[in-house]
Each structure stands twice: as C-alpha cells, then as structure tokens.
C-alpha cells in the first residue's frame, strides 16, 4: 500500500530523533516533515508536494503551543488527522485538545510500537489514546449525579446555562436583563460555589452532569 505521509512536531531533540528514527523506518510510513516548533512546521509546509495525512503534535512547545496551534492547523490542513503527544494526562488538557479537533491523544512514555499503532489507527478512522488517557476520558465524561443539587440559586443556574451556551459576559447580561458587572458577580459566586477556576472547567463539569 502507499505509505502514510507523517509529520512530527516535537521540540525535545532526543524524543524527536527517537520518533523520527523509528517511525520513518517503518514501511507503512513516510516522514514528509519534521519540525521542532509550530512556527518551523508552518514555514516548511508550503514546500511539501502533498500535505501530511497524520501529524504527531507535541502539546508543550516553545512559541505557539500545540493546543494553541491546533485550531489553526485544522483550518490549514482540514484533512490531516492530528494526534497530540504529551507528558500531561490531566483531564482539562485532554478535553481542550479533543474539542479543538484532535483525533487522538497519546502519552510520551508509551512504547514506540504503540506510536506506530496510533498513527495507523487514526489513519483508518480510529481515535487512538494511551490507556491512561482513555481512563481519564471515560472518567471525565461519565455522567454523575450532582452532589449538591440545590447549591446554586435559580439566577446562578441561568448564568451557568448561558455560559454553557457559549455566551460572553455582555451576551449573558443581554439575555438575562442584567448589567455586565452583576453578571460578573454571579460568575464569581458560581466559580466559588462549584470550586472551578475557568469557563472551560465549568463547561466540562456541566458535560459530566456535575452541576
């Protein structure tokens, strides 16, 4: 079969050399671009005759991070499957990466053979994840009953619903007939009561049924 066109973006020289040395020797794969940053990747991209079919993208990079770059890369390369690679397995990063368009999420401590398997799987239409990541995802999205169903007031719940709908403070204020400052006060109360620190975390809690 025709080898899968693979690109790597990894800033750690040792890890980059290890991945390139192994993956680029596999008969099923051909490395078309290897870079140490998103900026370098984008600079080299116009020189390619064909875009990569799979991109292994590190999350923690100098300059633009992998998470920051993901929406841009998906816009530039809509047909390229992106597999995020990282040492981080916290639920928030996984959630953000998947929401931004990542097709898979793997940890750097897994064997090289599993890297190859992840590339082949995502090319076949799968969604490869390291075992540890898969457990995090299952736990993250598994609906659980609210521990304190009456914790929020009716108005605070209205604010939460507006945030979940993607509205900013001004839009929430317009929907509910409140001032922007009043909305921000409600948001602070909600964050404190639910012990969350960001809109992303709030939306994540809602997705898991924990509000």
Tokens of 116: 């190859």
Residue 133: the pLDDT is: 61
| Predicted confidence pLDDT, tens digits, the chain (211 residues) | 789 999 999 999 999 999 999 999 999 999 999 999 999 999 999 999 999 999 999 988 989 998 889 989 988 999 999 998 887 666 667 777 777 788 888 888 888 998 999 899 888 887 777 666 665 555 555 544 444 556 888 898 899 888 887 788 888 899 999 998 999 899 888 888 888 877 777 776 676 666 5
Q: Among all chains, which residue has been given the structure tokens 């995502």?
A: 122
3-class DSSP state for residue 54? strand
- Output the CATH code of domain 4-141: 3.40.50.2300
Residue 1: the pLDDT is: 73
CATH number for 154-207 (one of 1.10.10.10, 1.10.486.10, 3.40.50.1820, 3.40.440.10): it is: 1.10.10.10
In sequence order, what DSSP letters do the residues of 11-38 get, joined into one string? --HHHHHHHHHHHTTSTTEEEEEEESSH
Give the residue extent of every domain in the chain. Answer: 4-141, 154-207
Residue 67: the pLDDT is: 87
Q: Which residues contact 91 (CB under 8 A, 6 or more apart)?
A: 136, 137, 139, 140, 204
In sequence order, what DSSP letters do the residues of 57-115 get, joined into one string? EESS-SSS-HHHHHHHHHHH-TT-EEEEEES---HHHHHHHHHTT-SEEEETTS-HHHH
User: Could you give the angle at which helices 199-207 and 154-164 cross, rounded to 10 degrees?
Assistant: 100
Residue 14: the pLDDT is: 93
């Amino acid at each position: 079969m025709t080898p899968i066109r693979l690109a790597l973006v990894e800033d750690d020289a040792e890890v980059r050399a290890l991945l390139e040395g192994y993956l680029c020797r596999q008969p099923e794969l051909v490395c078309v671009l290897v870079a140490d940053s998103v900026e370098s990747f984008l600079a080299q991209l116009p020189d390619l005759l064909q875009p990569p079919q799979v991109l292994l993208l590190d999350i923690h990079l100098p300059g633009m991070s992998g998470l920051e770059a993901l929406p841009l890369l998906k816009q530039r390369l809509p047909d390229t499957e992106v597999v995020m690679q990282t040492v981080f397995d916290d639920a928030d990063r996984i959630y953000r990466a998947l929401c931004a368009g990542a097709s898979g999420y793997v940890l750097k401590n897994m064997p090289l053979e599993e890297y190859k398997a992840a590339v082949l799987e995502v090319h076949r239409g799968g969604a490869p994840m390291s075992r540890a990541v898969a457990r995090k995802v299952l736990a993250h999205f598994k609906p659980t009953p609210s521990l304190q169903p009456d914790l929020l007031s009716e108005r605070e719940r209205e604010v939460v619903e507006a945030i979940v709908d993607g509205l900013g403070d001004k839009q929430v204020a317009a929907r509910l007939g409140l001032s922007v400052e009043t909305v921000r006060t409600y948001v602070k109360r909600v964050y404190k009561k639910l012990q969350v620190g960001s809109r992303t975390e709030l939306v994540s809690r809602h997705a898991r049924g924990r509000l």
